[in-house]
Amino acid sequence: MYRLYINGEFKDSSEKERIINPATGEVVAEVAVASVRDAAAAIQAARNAFDKGPWAKLSFDERKAFLLKIAQGILDKAGELAKLETLNNGKPIKESTFMDIPSAAKTFEHFANNFAGYLQSERIDLSDSNAESKILREPLGVAVLIVPWNYPLLISCWKLAQALAAGNTVVLKPSSLTPLTALELAKIIHEVGLSYGVVNIINGSGTRIGEALCADKRVDLVSFTGSNEVGKQIIGYCAKYAKKLIMELGGKSANIVLKDADLEAAVNGSLCSIFLNQGQMCTAMSRIFVEDAIYDRFASEFVSKAKKIKLGPGMDYETQMGPLISKEQRDKVIGFIEKAKKEGTKLLCGGKIPEDPQFKNGFFLEPAVLTDVTPDMGIFKEEVFGPVACISRFVNLEEAIELANNSDFALAACIWTQNKTTAENLGKKINAGTIWVNTYGMFYNEVPYGGFKQSGFGKELGREGFWEYTRLKSLVIDKSKDAKPLVNYWYGF
Ligand code: NAD
């Protein structure tokens, strides 16, 4: 039984919910569900910890020691956390073990080890004035962190590491579909001995406690990663008190394959870019644009490899694609495929619930490849968030740019070419926050990440991401020693 973590205590709640293993439909754990009162208690705890507690006043090095202990705590429990992430989310255990969990620990280490300098104040000499200015960089205060279900621990740790390193106190709300690793993290954080209320972690659906968390006057910042639709609701909740927001929303990313690409690398990379994590990635390259000269070879190799992807329960080390997160999500994805077929696309493979009886209680779906997709179709425009690749052809770079930029989203893109200059020139013309060349999905703690247009605003990671969790304050100091400052004489008294 997992409980809520509020003000340094693990608390029960009157309501509980069962967490389901998407590979089997079996119950993995029971979790306490926060009420609106619990949300308010968590905010108050974070508020008290920020206003009256030591956390924000500690030196960076003192905070650093705590962050490094959290990183170590994650590493000490890495095997257990990886298993739990896979049981809860369905992703292959290889991904949880080698990507999600170690990257989560690394993010804490990175912001602990490298960011002392980014909180320093700066003195500015005002040459034509008798004053000087000091720019202070301060924590914002209480941060509400809202996280989706596709990378439950990793995205929680991105937000927590940055917010805590900067000196904020937080209330973290994982997705109610995947709260387990965040609630395990609460135990690690408790053992590390952070003062009470610095970190509060509560499970509950967004419809139940989302507004209470975001609209509350005691909250200074909401950092949200999730869907476009919910992001816009949150912007609405935060409008009354004009809160600082970080919005990491959905995507409809473009994968551009040029005729001079290393074909094998481009096919394999493109498969990863849409089928990893069952296609449930904000940066999923759901629109693949291939140059005419290599289109047929690319499409035939892509389809033949997509058919070979091994479906299975995430806990099996041989599994390459696990189940989708829920039956609702699978129904939604199948709905997109059916609509696309009616709109005139051609389904080259997959898109079906596998017939093998071993999959019958899970939410599996065979990876789908569609062609003949045109910009007027729903499948071209809307985020599917599942294993559905759409391949289209282009004849020249101008057309590739036009197709890629023909989207309301602008989160990420991939370019496959052996010509570095072409890649850089093309990269400048693609409207997306992150552009990978001859690779996919490489996130670095050093590199700011975040989209444009309907993909949101604000950055996560890097120096700029860290600074999103801070505020700037300007002190202007009159330097007059002998004479009195000018304002003294203004009224002539
Ligand atoms: P979601 O928007 O349904 O939920 C995200 C979080 O918001 C969950 O914790 C949920 O409980 C909460 N929530 C739901 N309604 C709320 C409300 N009214 N008020 C406050 N919180 C509320 O998204 P999801 O289905 O969990 O995740 C998939 C989406 O997340 C996709 O659109 C994907 O592109 C996006 N995503 C974006 C990024 C990025 O970095 N840009 C990363 C991962 C996922």
Q: Establish if 184 belongs to a structural domain.
A: yes
Query: Is residue 45 located within the same domain as residue 131?
Result: yes
Find the length of the chain.
Answer: 493
Give counts: helices (H), strands (E), the chain.
16, 22
Is the model more confident about 65 or about 482?
A: 65
Using a 6 Å CB cutoff, which residues line ligand 1? 146-150, 173, 175-176, 205-207, 210-211, 214, 225-227, 230, 233-234, 248-251, 282, 383, 385, 411, 451, 456
The answer, yes or no, to whether residue 411 has pLDDT greater than 90, is yes
> Quick one: which atom of ligand 1 is closest to the CA of 251?
34
Question: Which ranges of 52-77 does DSSP label H, i.e. alpha helix?
Answer: 60-76
pLDDT at 481: 73
CA atoms within 13 A on the CB side of 89: 32
CA of residue 385 to ligand 1 center, whole Å: 11
Query: Is residue 229 located within the same domain as residue 83?
Result: yes
Q: Establish if 399 belongs to a structural domain.
A: yes
CA of residue 269 to ligand 1 center, whole Å: 26
The candidate with the shortest Cα–Cα distance to 417, out of 391, 395, 439, is: 439
Q: Any idea what the CATH number is for the domain that residue 108 is in? A: 3.40.605.10
Encode pLDDT of 85-129 as tens digits.
999 999 999 999 999 999 999 999 999 999 999 999 999 988 878
Gap between the Cα atoms of 22 and 37, Å rounded:
30
Query: Is residue 198 located within the same domain as residue 334?
Result: no
Q: How large a percentage of the chain has pLDDT more than 90?
A: 95
Q: Establish if 493 belongs to a structural domain.
A: no
How many structural domains is the chain composed of?
Answer: 2
Q: Establish if 66 belongs to a structural domain.
A: yes
> Quick one: which atom of ligand 1 is closest to the CA of 231?
2
Query: Is residue 242 located within the same domain as residue 169?
Result: yes
Query: Is residue 245 located within the same domain as residue 301?
Result: no
The confidence band for 483, taking pLDDT boundaries of 50, 70 and 90, is: low
The one catalytic residue among 157, 282, 390, 414: 282
| Residue owning the nearest CA to atom 3 of ligand 1 | 227
CA of residue 369 to ligand 1 center, whole Å: 25
Query: Is residue 157 located within the same domain as residue 269?
Result: no
Average pLDDT over residues 325-347: 98
pLDDT at 491: 84
pLDDT at 231: 98
Gap between the Cα atoms of 71 and 78, Å rounded:
10
> Quick one: which atom of ligand 1 is closest to the CA of 460?
40
| Residue owning the nearest CA to atom 23 of ligand 1 | 226
The one catalytic residue among 95, 248, 460, 468: 248
pLDDT at 190: 98
Query: Is residue 67 located within the same domain as residue 153?
Result: yes
First to last CA, the chain: 72
User: Are 458 and 112 spatial neighbours (Cβ–Cβ below 8 Å)?
Assistant: no
Average pLDDT over residues 39-55: 98
The answer, yes or no, to whether residue 487 has pLDDT greater than 90, is no
CA of residue 240 to ligand 1 center, whole Å: 22
> Quick one: which atom of ligand 1 is closest to the CA of 456?
41
Gap between the Cα atoms of 250 and 383, Å rounded:
7
26-35, 126-135, 319-328, 413-422: lowest mean pLDDT where? 126-135
To the nearest 10°, report the CA torsion of 61, 63, 69, 73: -150
User: Are 254 and 410 spatial neighbours (Cβ–Cβ below 8 Å)?
Assistant: no
Q: How large a percentage of the chain has pLDDT more than 70?
A: 99
| Residue owning the nearest CA to atom 30 of ligand 1 | 226
Q: Establish if 310 belongs to a structural domain.
A: yes
Query: Is residue 224 located within the same domain as residue 336?
Result: no
User: Are 87 and 315 spatial neighbours (Cβ–Cβ below 8 Å)?
Assistant: yes
Average pLDDT over residues 454-460: 98
Which residues on adjacent β-strands are paired with residue 413?
254, 435
CA of residue 348 to ligand 1 center, whole Å: 30
The answer, yes or no, to whether residue 75 has pLDDT greater than 80, is yes
Its pTM stands at 0.97
The confidence band for 489, taking pLDDT boundaries of 50, 70 and 90, is: confident
Query: Is residue 243 located within the same domain as residue 270?
Result: no
Instruction: Say how many C-beta atoms besides its own lie within 10 A of residue 39's C-beta.
Output: 26
Average pLDDT over residues 52-77: 97
Pocket perturbation via mutation, ligand 1, pick of 144, 157, 171, 225 by most ligand atoms within 8 A of CB: 225
CA of residue 251 to ligand 1 center, whole Å: 12
Average pLDDT over residues 149-157: 98
Query: Is residue 276 located within the same domain as residue 416?
Result: yes
The answer, yes or no, to whether residue 206 has pLDDT greater than 80, is yes
Q: Establish if 447 belongs to a structural domain.
A: no
Told to judge if 272 belongs to the known catalytic residues of this protein, a careful annotator would answer: no
Q: Any idea what the CATH number is for the domain that residue 407 is in? A: 3.40.309.10
Q: Are strands 15-20 and 27-33 parallel, antiparallel or unpaired?
A: antiparallel
Q: Residue 162 sits in which domain range?
A: 4-249+455-476
Q: Establish if 190 belongs to a structural domain.
A: yes
Mean pLDDT (the chain, rounded):
96
Average pLDDT over residues 338-342: 98
Query: Is residue 360 located within the same domain as residue 235?
Result: no
pLDDT at 130: 83
Told to judge if 248 belongs to the known catalytic residues of this protein, a careful annotator would answer: yes
| Residue owning the nearest CA to atom 15 of ligand 1 | 206
Query: Is residue 228 located within the same domain as residue 281?
Result: no
The answer, yes or no, to whether residue 482 has pLDDT greater than 80, is no
CA atoms within 13 A on the CB side of 314: 30
Q: Establish if 67 belongs to a structural domain.
A: yes
Average pLDDT over residues 324-338: 98
